[in-house]
């Protein structure tokens, strides 16, 4: 069975906020943000919502795949910033796209969310339950940022990315023919979860004395950094081993876009030219679950992905969570 990614799409808010813009409203500088992270600017939502960007990214992915909304069996949205607790963002996407046949639900795995959602979709496809899935990573992180905490709020952005994955029954599994998913692995470490946290709403039951203080994203950046540079290369090596593919055979390493120094460190640890690690964080910032599919769509739109190319994708972040995959385009 070949499970192939047949289309991608993305959507970013119109408003672009540069480091220079931020330095006018808080004690920061382009020099600090650029040198510590590689981020130059990010898109921040004004009118856009997690659902509206998800629908737009989904529409573009369907157009790119050349399929209609009625053909989708499954919609999974990975997000930690849905517009509602219920309905899920995925149910909103179902209605927005008119995907009447689909079943839809959300996944919360923070910055690894798209990868977890992709793996879940692959599992449904592999089991024969569904044939076509729309997988979306979408975030409006600006609404859960503590805008008085310069150590976190300058890092993140808003946006959505989508991919259509489908069982391609008539295609053969010959080498070079684009064999789709070759291997996948994912993991979690809930014991260290609080190093990157955003509390949910408090219980306001009248029987409980509880003054409500909304909570925003809180991160021990250095702990997350250490986690990322150790976990990601190890995860990539495991998944390559499982796929029986060497590091040298990989055309691109599509990583979660958190910090250019993390990407450089992973490249160094894998002994791979950093040129093989495409980047979108310079103009998108860290878009959590949306970063991998946005980057993938940018690469697809630029014509960087050819049939048979082997690609590694890897996400990591809150939970703590991580996930990597090797696919043949
Ligand atoms: O997507 C989820 C996964 N998240 C990540 O992967 C994030 C991983 N962590 C990181 O990328 C980095 O740890 C950060 C970019 C978050 C921080 O970089 P750092 O090199 O670890 O900086 P730091 O936290 O050690 O801060 C260094 C200094 C501090 O000042 P002092 O105490 O040395 O005087 C901070 O107060 O930089 C200061 N600082 C800032 N200065 C200007 C922190 N934020 C800012 C800022 N502008 N925005």
CB 295 within 8 A of CB 254: yes
Q: Closest Cα to residue 78, out of 65, 64, 88, 69?
A: 88
C-alpha to C-alpha distance for 248 and 271, rounded to whole angstroms: 9
Least confident interval from 116-130, 195-209, 306-320: 195-209
Beta bridge partners of 311: 252, 327
pLDDT at 27 (0 to 100): 97
CB 93 within 8 A of CB 11: no
Q: Are strands 180-188 and 321-328 parallel, antiparallel or unpaired?
A: antiparallel
The finding on whether 105 has its CB within 6 A of some atom of ligand 1 is no
C-alpha to C-alpha distance for 285 and 33, rounded to whole angstroms: 10
Spacing, Cα 141 to ligand 1 middle (Å): 18
The finding on whether 36 has its CB within 6 A of some atom of ligand 1 is yes
Spacing, Cα 108 to ligand 1 middle (Å): 25
Residue 21 phi, psi dihedral angles, 5° rounding:
-60, -45
Residue where the block lists tokens 């090596």: 237
**CA-CA distances (angstroms) from residue 195 to 37, 153, 255?**
18, 16, 20
Least confident interval from 188-197, 201-210, 220-229: 201-210
Residue 275 DSSP symbol: G
Spacing, Cα 221 to ligand 1 middle (Å): 6
291-301 and 50-65 helices, crossing angle to 10°? 40
Say whether pLDDT at 68 is over 80. yes
CB 10 within 8 A of CB 57: yes
286 is a catalytic site residue: yes
> Which residue has the CA at smallest separation from atom 39 of ligand 1?
151
C-alpha to C-alpha distance for 102 and 146, rounded to whole angstroms: 36
CB 163 within 8 A of CB 296: yes
Say whether pLDDT at 123 is over 60. yes
Say whether pLDDT at 88 is over 90. yes
The finding on whether 222 has its CB within 6 A of some atom of ligand 1 is yes
Spacing, Cα 151 to ligand 1 middle (Å): 5
The finding on whether 186 has its CB within 6 A of some atom of ligand 1 is no
Q: Residues with Cβ < 8 Å from 263, sequence gap 6 or more?
A: 38, 255, 257, 274, 277, 279
The finding on whether 221 has its CB within 6 A of some atom of ligand 1 is yes
Average pLDDT value for the chain: 95
C-alpha to C-alpha distance for 127 and 121, rounded to whole angstroms: 10
Least confident interval from 166-180, 234-248, 300-314: 166-180
């Amino acid at each position: 069975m070949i499970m192939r990614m047949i289309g991608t799409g993305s959507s970013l808010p119109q408003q672009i906020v540069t480091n220079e813009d931020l330095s006018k409203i808080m004690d920061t500088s382009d020099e600090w943000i650029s040198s510590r992270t590689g981020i130059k600017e990010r898109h921040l939502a004004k009118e856009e919502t997690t659902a509206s960007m998800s629908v737009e990214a989904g529409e573009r992915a369907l157009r790119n795949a050349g399929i209609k909304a009625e053909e989708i069996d499954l919609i999974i949205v990975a997000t930690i910033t849905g517009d509602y607790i219920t309905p899920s963002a995925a149910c909103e996407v179902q209605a927005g796209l008119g995907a009447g046949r689909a079943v839809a639900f959300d996944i919360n795995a923070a910055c690894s969310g798209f990868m977890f959602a992709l793996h879940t979709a692959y599992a449904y496809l592999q089991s024969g339950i569904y044939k076509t899935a729309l997988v979306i990573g979408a975030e409006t992180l600006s609404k859960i940022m503590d805008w008085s905490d310069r150590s976190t709020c300058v890092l993140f952005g808003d946006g959505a990315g989508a991919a259509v994955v489908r069982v391609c029954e008539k295609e053969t599994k010959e080498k070079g023919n684009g064999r789709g998913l070759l291997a996948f692995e994912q993991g979690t470490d809930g014991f260290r979860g609080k190093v990157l946290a955003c509390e949910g709403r408090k219980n306001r039951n009248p029987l409980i004395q509880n003054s409500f203080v909304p909570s925003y994203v809180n991160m021990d950046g250095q702990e997350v950094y250490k986690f990322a540079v150790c976990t990601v290369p190890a995860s990539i090596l495991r998944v390559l081993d499982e796929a029986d593919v060497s590091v040298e055979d990989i055309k691109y390493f599509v990583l979660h876009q958190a910090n250019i120094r993390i990407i450089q460190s992973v490249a160094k640890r894998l002994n791979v030219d950093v040129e093989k690690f495409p980047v979108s964080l310079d103009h998108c910032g860290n878009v959590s679950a949306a970063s991998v599919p946005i980057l993938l769509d940018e690469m697809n739109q630029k014509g960087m992905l050819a049939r048979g190319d082997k690609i590694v994708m890897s996400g990591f972040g809150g939970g703590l969570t991580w996930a990597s995959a090797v696919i043949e385009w």
